[in-house]
Amino acid sequence: MLLLSACGGGSSAGAGTAQGEIDPEGTFRYVFVQNPSTFDPHRSGNAWDMIFFRLVYDQLIMLDENDELAPQLATSWEFVDGDTALVLELRDDVTFIDGTPFNAEAVKANLERAKTLETSALKGQLARVESIDVVDEFTVRLNLNGPGGDLPNLFTDRLGSMISPAAFDNPDLDQNPVGSGMATLVEYVPGQVSRYDRNEEYWDPEAAKAAHYEILVQTSATTRFNMLQTGQAELTYLDPSQAEQAATAGLNSAPSKSLSIMSINMNVGKPPFDDIRVRQALEHAIDRQAIVDGVFFGLGEPVAQYMPPEHWAYNPDVTPEGDHGYDPERARELLAEAGYPDGVEFEWLVPSLDDHRAVAEALVPMLAEAGMTANTRVIESPTTPVTFYGRQEGNVYNGMGAPFADPTVQYQNYLPGAFRNPWNVSSPEFEQAWLDALRGTTQEERAPAIHRMVEEEKRTMISFPLHAHFPPSAWTDRAVFPEGYQPAYAPTFRGVGVTA
């Protein structure tokens, strides 16, 4: 039996404070708050779906425990010919669960489907891929018509999730995935649970340490907590208010690894937020640190950009102080300059999630001090983007961003024509900076343009971030993690098992 480090009560994940002998026939159970939107990666517009996809689909490239790019289906990748093409060398020992071999033809078929499928959510990510060549059975070449420095990162996500080409036309692909992953879906009950069995023919026998996996759906943080206590699950994430309670109960707990950012989104197509001075006033009216401390019990960090401070692309010059900091007096001055000396009144849409409602409740009196009256209306969380951007109801809403594969994905929302920018409010400087952020093949080469992109977005500002969100993950002593593993807000289960 392989011994992997797990964590003792209240310790940080990956600390290796306890040992567990893995039960090779065990079941690992995780509790999340929602179903996958679909099991078809090309139709998925929800980054949280990767929690499910990484069980049943392999990706071309994966992230290791240090969040560095690492081989998965692609053993290596290289930009060639002056960065005008990306060549990937592939594994030669992989078969999809339906018996279809994985090879360069399969990669080409997947990327062409993602690029041309009418209902594909990933077309934009392949906009700079002009054509795809099969060089030989296990080598594929992507010919680019523009900068493609983001592609290796994107291949760790939905775009890199490989479906069996023989299953493309399966009418039930959205609920019956056909991949080459470490597990196969055996039962799916929407709104309740999805169950998986280990793929006994998987090319990496060390990946699936459990014989079975379950992802249970439960929106209540209190119920998720109780499920751990009563032995109904091994891992979940909690409300920040429950972190101390988890430790007292003898559960293991630590802030989750997370790229999620809570943001304030404004309708800039109608008064009062069609005036950037009012948008700036709203940012100055909010004490981000008070929100982190009061609502999230200190588990978070104020930010003024859509990346947490430890991210490789973070711009150290754009901070939640100074030009973007809490200053209610400056907020009132900006409102007066915009023609609202007596303040503004507007409708605030609140997604029906506990933490979103708590943030809105804390913000209402805070905004009032700066002369901004927010009338809140709670709406169903899944429909919030359609309500706000599609039907353009309300003036403001607060939302939580999903994990992202590349920083340009976050900022693509603010390009003209994007779903989250139906008003096409942008600038030539921002659009050029976003495109330049795709140039280069290393983090060091790309970072200066990404920093410029962050700065230019603040000059139009149709939304702004509140804080980087690190909710507590909690797990029982039955959970066994690989060395260096840190439970994430969107966790992976590679190498994860349960004790005998």
Give the pLDDT confidence score for residue 354 in this predicted structure.
85
What integer is the mean pLDDT of 447-465?
Answer: 98
Mean pLDDT of the chain: 94
Question: Residue ranges of the alpha helices (H) in 275-344?
Answer: 276-284, 288-296, 328-337
* Calpha distance 325→241 (Å, rounded): 26
> What three-state secondary structure class fits 51?
helix
User: Is 460 in contact with 284 (CB distance < 8 Å)?
Assistant: no
Q: What is the DSSP string of 411-480?
A: HGGGSTT-TT-TT----HHHHHHHHHTT--SSHHHHHHHHHHHHHHHTTT-SEEEEEEE-PEEEE-TTEE
- Per-residue pLDDT, averaged over 455-477, amounts to 97
Model confidence pLDDT, tens digit, residues 114-171? 999 999 999 999 999 999 999 999 999 999 999 999 999 999 999 999 999 999 999 9
Residue ranges of E strands in 303-371: 344-351
CA geometry: angle at 211 spanning 205 and 217, to 5°?
120
| Residue 449 pLDDT > 90 | yes
What's the token pair of residue 147?
Answer: 């900068």
The dihedral sign for the CA sequence 333, 334, 339, 345: negative
Asked if pLDDT for residue 498 goes beyond 70, the answer is yes
CB 91 within 8 A of CB 60: no
**SS3 state of residue 334:** helix
- Go through 363-375 and write b for each residue having 16 or more CB atoms within 10 A of its CB, e for each that does not: beebbeebbbebe
* The predicted structure's pLDDT at residue 325: 97
pLDDT reported for residue 5: 30
Q: How far apart are CA 74 and CA 60, in angstroms?
A: 5
Contact 311, 359 (CB under 8 A): no
Q: Is pLDDT at 331 greater than 70 in this prediction? A: yes
Longest dimension (CA), the chain: 71
Interval 137-151: pLDDT, tens: 999 999 999 999 999
Q: pLDDT at position 383, please? A: 85
Which residues lie across from 433 on neighbouring strands? none
Q: Residue 161 carries which DSSP code?
A: B
pLDDT higher than threshold 90 for residue 199: yes
Give me 263's structure tokens.
């943001």
* pLDDT (mean) for 279-307: 97
Separation in Å, CA 149 to CA 130, 221, 443, 455: 15, 39, 9, 20
Residue 77 has pLDDT above 90, yes or no: yes
Do β-strands 85-90 and 74-80 pair in parallel, antiparallel, or remain unpaired?
A: antiparallel
User: Cβ(245)–Cβ(474) under 8 Å?
Assistant: no
How wide is the angle at C-alpha 375 spanned by C-alphas 372 and 377, nearest 5°?
A: 145
pLDDT at 337: 98
**18, pLDDT greater than 50:** no
User: Amino acid letter at 282?
Assistant: L
What pLDDT was estimated at residue 353?
86
- Give the Cβ contact number of residue 322 at 10 Å: 10
Say yes or no to pLDDT of 19 above 80. no
| Per-residue model confidence (pLDDT) at position 10 | 38
Q: Is the pLDDT of residue 6 over 50?
A: no
Selection from 257, 291, 220, 245 nearest residue 471 by Cα = 257
Between residues 313 and 354, the one the model is more confident about = 313
